[in-house]
Amino acid sequence: MKYTNLPNTDIKVSKICLGTMTWGEQNTEVEGHQQIELALDKGVNFLDTAEMYAVPARPETQGRTEEIIGTWLNKTKRRDEIVLASKIAGPGEQVAHIREKLDYSREALEDALDKSLKRLQTDVIDLYQLHWPERQTNFFGKRGFSLDEDEGWKENFEEVLSNLQYFVKKGKIKYIGLSNETPYGLMRFLEESKKDLPRVLTVQNPYNLLNRKDEIGLTEILHREKVGYLPYSPLGMGVLTGKHLDGIKKNSRLDLFPQYKRYSGDQAVKATREYSEIAKKHGLSFAQMSLAFINQQPFVTSNIVGATNLDQLAENIGSIDLELSSEILEEINAVHERIPNPAP
């Protein structure tokens, strides 16, 4: 395994992070525990979860993923071996069941944090992330930004950081991060942190061969401001393994939950087919090539991989040992030039 540090800290994290959102929906508690054990055996020390998980979000499974992590921590007493990240849900119809105030007020943060800590059976979360902005923006499939004048959001970056600082001082969280955030949002948080407020360490956004839009503006900020990047959905819901090229595979995530077909449009399928041919030409696992591309990006702190079985997980973690040649990278970039970001 390879390691780096959460920026501006002495916290060492593996370059591969174990994503957990299927636990409690597609994976049982036993399977979740097995995934943690396998990941640790292979050098992974970084786990990412969220209060809204399992996915898809629904009242029956909300918080179940954190509970599964918590029972493993309680059973094994290995909390000191894990860097633990979680997230508070922001406003959105899909999570209206979580709490009445879906914002980042002190009241909402306290409710979310206390419940997450109880489920996780721990006293502190190492990296606590805002799952998506309170304001209207262009995440989840939207390329362009269009403002709704009635969005109702009032500028509150300083207030949110102040609220988070309160819980840092109480010892419930160590550091803070963002998720599904834009260059504008990140820069505003960084500017407000200069008022002796907590500084954002990381941004967790979708990033893969079919969605490299963060390279357009965000990655320069990551580099110049020394902020970490945690890519999620690195295999595009399994699309970048090639298993759906001849149709959606039965009982797969895309078959069970068709609402997640953002990586299955005509242009995305065309690009996926071309990327798969590059892997085949060079005798590589398509999944590992897709992940290795991300692992090698200089702005990536840790690549969040997930799986529904141990064989998939072992293959995904094994991507850390694959170094793509300049020839392969040139071929990948040539496809990207022809079919850029087909799945925003």
Catalytic annotation, residues: 53
DSSP, collapsed to helix, strand or coil, labels residue 239 as: helix
Q: In this structure, is the dihedral angle defined by the CA atoms of residues 52, 58, 60 and 61, taken in order, positive or negative?
A: negative
Structure tokens, 159: 């207030």
Q: Beta strand 228-232 with 303-305: parallel, antiparallel or unpaired?
A: unpaired
Nearest to 234 by CA among 291, 313, 298: 291
Q: Which residue has the tokens 């593996």?
A: 14
Q: Which residue has the tokens 């996926």?
A: 272
In angstroms, the CA 187 to CA 195 distance is: 14
Structure tokens, 314: 């072992």
Nearest to 287 by CA among 235, 221, 324: 235
Nearest to 202 by CA among 220, 235, 179: 179
Amino acid 182 reads T
- Phi and psi for 12 in degrees, rounded to 5? -85, 130
Nearest to 164 by CA among 138, 206, 185, 192: 192
Amino acid 90 reads G
Q: Beta strand 12-14 with 3-5: parallel, antiparallel or unpaired?
A: antiparallel
Task: Count CB neighbours of 77 within 10 A.
Answer: 8
Do residues 242 and 307 lie in contact, with contact meaning Cβ atoms separated by under 8 Å?
no
